[in-house]
Each structure stands twice: as structure tokens, then as C-alpha cells.
Amino acid sequence: MDTSNLSMQLNFIKEIDKLKYIERKTKLFHSERRENDAEHSWHLAMMTLVLAEHSDKPVNVLKVLKMVLIHDIVEIDAGDTFIYDTLKSHTNTQQELQAAKRIFGLLPEKQAKEFIAIWEEFEEGLTDEAKFARSMDRFEPLLQNVSNSGGTWKEFEVDYQKVYDKKKAIKNGSSSIWAYAESLLEDSVEKGILTKRPDLPK
Amino acid sequence: MDTSNLSMQLNFIKEIDKLKYIERKTKLFHSERRENDAEHSWHLAMMTLVLAEHSDKPVNVLKVLKMVLIHDIVEIDAGDTFIYDTLKSHTNTQQELQAAKRIFGLLPEKQAKEFIAIWEEFEEGLTDEAKFARSMDRFEPLLQNVSNSGGTWKEFEVDYQKVYDKKKAIKNGSSSIWAYAESLLEDSVEKGILTKRPDLPK
């Protein structure tokens, strides 16, 4: 047994417990309680298992699972960034990269490199696996907000166009899930839980 | 697109959100807060990714991940059973089987059958994947209790022998992790956070 490997791995396993304290803005289904990152990551993993057949391209499910399980671990250091926050950038900030290096760096070197590479692949969103993983990440809060009569859209006054612009990334992973998501957005406008901004006067 | 499949799958995805409300007895690392089943399942998935190399037998990691991600979903109906509860049985109770059929039964038939079979394989604990998955399930709360100065062992006055008897299942999955776990148990006795019952007088 390589006990030094095990010891490093256990340090990592203890460290990532902190993900359970990172609170997201989005609330659980039909709920007033905000979701934490560990719960969110578990739910995305379950969605991946169940919905992978809807990916436009065949995907390596194990790789997508790795992505969704680890994608938010950097938030232990960098904190959660609300997707409609207009001040903070969401992609590959320097702070997140430093966090990835510190936290995944607790692992034995080979594993650390693998996890950092998977996290970067997810962030870049270019491969079929990353596209599908990112579509899951965008789809879950949409379902939650619909179940919560608008949820964070209402709470933070986010209008239809802003939501649409963020959610259309779902299309990169699955055109059928995107078709469903689009219909949910239209329904939400009809129900008055998502607002289309009127045209500005000329 | 098979929209009926997607619709059934989304009902399942919404239903399993309830796992986030199922509270375990064990508390988070260095914490007073009890863990919920969704957080626990995520942590076991991460442990599987990181520790799979310590399995005595080569395992299909994707299958182990499926097991640990879904193993507690039946508790949405059946509730969490504390491992040291002496009244309730833990294996394959009728109530859990009914729960598996109801909850996984929300999925399209082929997926429902696959998930029920994976859950049953985990419960039976006979295959290499089930043995490793079960060793992760026993190892996580041990690490948590050690971090919490005895945690549930202290809280519910569980002695060394009872803990040892439950934890030795770790050995079925990984002799190296079991060696480490055994040393943690001995350390815990030395530190006074786990009690060896004195021999009863003859």
C-alpha cells in the first residue's frame, strides 16, 4: 500500500467537506431553503445518469460525472458567484484557478493534474462532455425556479432576456432538453413568474 | 425526441430533491451540523473517484458511482436508519424495497429496472463494485466521528466492539483502507473518544 497516497487523499476528502457550507442563491424545489454546492453537485450527477441519453453527441458518462461532481469545489476558496451577478465574471477567474491548484493540489500529483484538467475542460466548455455537463448545470436551477414561482428570477428581478441568454447554453449539450427548457421559459412568462421587458421607447 | 421519457425522468429528478431533507445522525467534519443524505452521497462519490485505486479488486468506477449516488434514495420513503440502531434491520427491509419500486419506478421502465438492480446489488454486497461502494459508506462516518471527538459513538454510547463489527465490512472492499481504519479505531480508544468495554466479571 502506498500510505503516502492514502494520507494525501484523505486530506483532500476532509477538505472538500467544506463544499457543504457553500450556499447557492437558488432554492430547493418548492422550498424556501437555499441549496448548497454539495447537494447541487449530487443532483447534477443524478441528472447526468438519468438524462445522458438526451445528449446530442454520445458522451463518456464517467467523465461527465467527474465534471459535475468536482465543478464547484473551487468555490470553497472562491465562493459562489450568482449567475446573474453583473459585476463578477464567471469563467476561469484567476481566483478560481488558484483555488483549483490549492485544493486539487492536496491530492497525489497524478490525480491533482487529472482533476485540474477535468475542471478546466468543464470551464472551457468545448468538448462534448463539457457541453453536456454545463447544460445540466444550467438546467437544474431553471427547474428549481419554475417550482418556486420564479425563485431567484423574482427575488433578484432578472428578466426573460437575461435568463434566456444564460440558459441557451443548454442547447450546446442537448437540443431536446433545450426545447423543453424553452417551453418552460415561455410558460413562465405566461404565468407571470418571469417578465419580458417591454421595448424601450424610441 | 422521446418527450414521454423526458417527462418521466424529470418527475424523478424533482422527486429525489427530497433526499436533501433526510438527515443522518453523523455530523459534518469538525461540526455540530448533521449531514443530509444528498451531501453524504456526493461525498461517497468523491471518495470513490479518489480512492478507487485502493480497491483490492479492479472495479468498474462508473458502476460504483451509480451505487453510491443512488444507495440512499429509498430513504426518501423509508427514512434513515442509524447503523447502531438495535431495533431496526438495515438490509433490504420490505419498506426499502417498496420505496425503491415507487421512486425508481417514476423513471422509464428500462432505467427503472437498471436502477433497482443496482440498488439491490449494493444492498446484497456480493460483487466487487458493491463491496467497494459499501466500504466507502462505512468509511466516511468513521472519518467524521474521529474529527468530531467521537461524534455519534459518544452521543449514542456505542462501544469499540460494536463499531469494529460494523466497520470491518471496509475490509471486504479494501484491505489497505481497512488497515488505516483499524489504526484510526485504535487511536480513538487511546484518545478516549471510543471506549473498550471492560470484560464482564465472571
ipTM of the complex in this document: 0.95
Mean pLDDT of A18-45: 97
Mark yes or no for CB contact A39/B20 under 8 Å: yes
Query: Quick check: B49 pLDDT over 60?
Result: yes
Mean pLDDT of B60-80: 96
Please give the span between the terminal C-alpha atoms of chain B, in angstroms, as a whole number: 73
Question: If you search the block for the grid coordinates 437544474, which residue do you land on?
Answer: A140
Mean pLDDT of B176-194: 97
pLDDT for the residue A92: 60
Query: Quick check: B63 pLDDT over 90?
Result: yes
Q: Which amino acid is at A50?
A: V
Does the beta carbon of A182 lie under 8 angstroms from any beta carbon of chain B? no
Query: Quick check: B1 pLDDT over 50?
Result: no
Query: Quick check: A24 pLDDT over 90?
Result: yes
CA–CA distances in Å: residue A51 to residues A62, A156, B58, B61, B74: 13, 29, 27, 19, 20
pLDDT for the residue A159: 95
pLDDT classification of A84: cutoffs 50, 70, 90: confident
pLDDT classification of A197: cutoffs 50, 70, 90: confident
pLDDT for the residue A1: 46
Mark yes or no for CB contact A29/B14 under 8 Å: yes
B22 and B75 Cβ atoms separated by less than 8 Å: yes
Query: Quick check: B89 pLDDT over 70?
Result: no
Which of these, A67, A85, A189, A46, lies nearest to A129 by C-alpha position? A67
A99 and A77 Cβ atoms separated by less than 8 Å: yes
Please give the span between the terminal C-alpha atoms of chain A, in angstroms, as a whole number: 73
Does the beta carbon of A36 lie under 8 angstroms from any beta carbon of chain B? yes
Query: Quick check: B3 pLDDT over 80?
Result: no
How high does pLDDT run on average in chain B?
Answer: 93
Query: Quick check: B202 pLDDT over 90?
Result: no
Cβ-Cβ contacts under 8 Å, B9 against chain A:
50-51
Q: Count interface pairs A-B at CB distance under 8 A.
A: 112
Does the beta carbon of A176 lie under 8 angstroms from any beta carbon of chain B? yes
Query: Quick check: B72 pLDDT over 70?
Result: yes
- Tens digit of each residue's pLDDT (9 = 90 or more) over A88-132: 655 568 899 999 999 999 999 999 999 999 999 999 999 999 999
Put residue A169 in one of left, alpha, beta given phi > 0 → left and psi -120 to 50 → alpha.
Answer: alpha
Closest CA of chain B from A5, distance in Å? 9
Question: In sequence order, which ranges of chain B are alpha helices (DSSP H)?
Answer: 3-15, 37-51, 61-70, 75-78, 94-104, 109-124, 128-147, 151-155, 160-167, 170-173, 175-191
- Tens digit of each residue's pLDDT (9 = 90 or more) over A48-76: 999 999 999 999 999 999 999 999 999 99
Query: Quick check: B33 pLDDT over 80?
Result: yes
Query: Quick check: A187 pLDDT over 50?
Result: yes
How high does pLDDT run on average in chain A?
Answer: 93
Residues with Cβ within 8 Å of A48's Cβ and at least 6 positions away in sequence, in order, are A61, A64, A65, A68, A132, A133, A136
pLDDT classification of A175: cutoffs 50, 70, 90: very high
Cα B124 from Cα B66, distance rounded (Å): 15
Pick from B50, B62, B107: CB nearest A13: B50
pLDDT for the residue A3: 66
Question: If you search the block for the grid coordinates 431536446, which residue do you land on?
Answer: A176
